[in-house]
């Protein structure tokens, strides 16, 4: 259910929109999250994009993360948690956000709960697709975009890490009373987007 917040003396009701996107690499998460953030008017916070930017800018974080990312491994929780917590503290995230790629492990999910001071996220969207489709999409993206972590080894590693580290979050959130809306990621970008919006309308 939505968290309605009404500051004392205000006539305005704020509807919190705190959405998490879960789903394996290649499920279309990034594309759909960007669209949904525009629709909801909340910032799209992608841990992968933030880390790639840090690598390009050559920051301390970027230098530490570059090799780990290229191998398809996970950047240590403490580094990612600090990066995202700092981003969530910025003003534009006060009325909501759409998190994409974070949390990716149970400790990250617990750290997020702490950072939000028990003010949990509203909804989790789980975007899924069969593994053979994910592999096909990721190999195609590798040819088209030449991302340094889109080698066959790194892709296999990322999908394995998703199963081991991230998939358990699908059970973590319902246990916290947060609904997980499962959405079929097969089909056109428009068709999947309609499914996501419908799933959210049902959850709110
Ligand atoms: P993909 O979903 O295609 O793997 P992302 O852009 O989400 O791409 O992430 C790229 C890489 O950035 C990951 O393989 C990992 O090394 C790192 N990364 C992103 N988010 C996290 C996170 N929450 N925790 C640890 N590492 C992360």
Q: 92: which DSSP letter?
A: G
Measured from the Cα of 103, ligand 1's closest atom is 23
**pLDDT digit string, tens, across residues 64-102:** 999 999 999 999 999 999 999 999 999 999 889 999 999
Measured from the Cα of 100, ligand 1's closest atom is 7
In angstroms and rounded to an integer, the radius of gyration of the C-alpha atoms of the chain is 17
Count how many residues are written for the chain: 204
Measured in Å, residue 47 CA sits from the centre of ligand 1 at: 6
**pLDDT digit string, tens, across residues 131-164:** 999 999 998 988 898 888 888 889 999 999 999 9
Residues 178-195, buried b or exposed e (16+ Cβ, 10 A)?
A: bbbbebebeeeeeebbeb
Tell me the C-alpha distance between 102 and 89, whole Å. Answer: 15
Phi then psi dihedrals of residue 131, to 5 deg: -60, -35
Catalytic residues: 29, 104, 141, 147, 158
- CB-based pocket (< 6 A), ligand 1: 25, 47-48, 51, 68-69, 72-75, 80, 101-102, 104, 108, 149, 158
Q: Does the predicted model carry a pTM greater than 0.85?
A: yes
Strand 14-15 versus strand 44-46 pairing type:
unpaired
CA-nearest residue, atom 16 of ligand 1: 69
Predicted confidence at residue 8, as pLDDT, reads: 52
Measured in Å, residue 54 CA sits from the centre of ligand 1 at: 13
Residue 89 token pair? 């503290």
């Amino acid at each position: 259910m939505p968290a309605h917040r009404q500051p004392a003396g205000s006539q305005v009701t704020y509807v919190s929109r705190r959405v998490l996107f879960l789903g394996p690499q290649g499920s279309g998460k990034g594309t759909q999250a960007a669209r949904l953030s525009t629709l909801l008017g909340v910032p799209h916070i992608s841990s992968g994009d933030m880390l790639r930017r840090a690598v390009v800018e050559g920051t301390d974080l970027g230098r530490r993360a570059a090799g780990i990312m290229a191998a398809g491994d996970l950047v240590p929780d403490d580094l990612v948690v600090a990066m995202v917590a700092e981003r969530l503290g910025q003003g534009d995230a006060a009325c909501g956000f759409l998190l994409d790629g974070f949390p990716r492990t149970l400790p990250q999910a617990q750290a997020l709960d702490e950072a939000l001071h028990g003010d949990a996220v509203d909804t989790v969207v789980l975007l899924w697709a069969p593994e053979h489709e994910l592999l096909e999409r990721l190999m195609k993206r590798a040819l088209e975009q030449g991302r340094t972590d889109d080698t066959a080894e790194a892709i296999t590693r990322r999908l394995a890490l998703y199963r081991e580290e991230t998939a358990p979050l699908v059970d973590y959130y319902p246990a916290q009373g947060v609904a997980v809306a499962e959405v079929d990621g097969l089909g056109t970008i428009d068709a999947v987007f309609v499914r996501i919006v419908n799933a959210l309308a049902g959850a709110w």
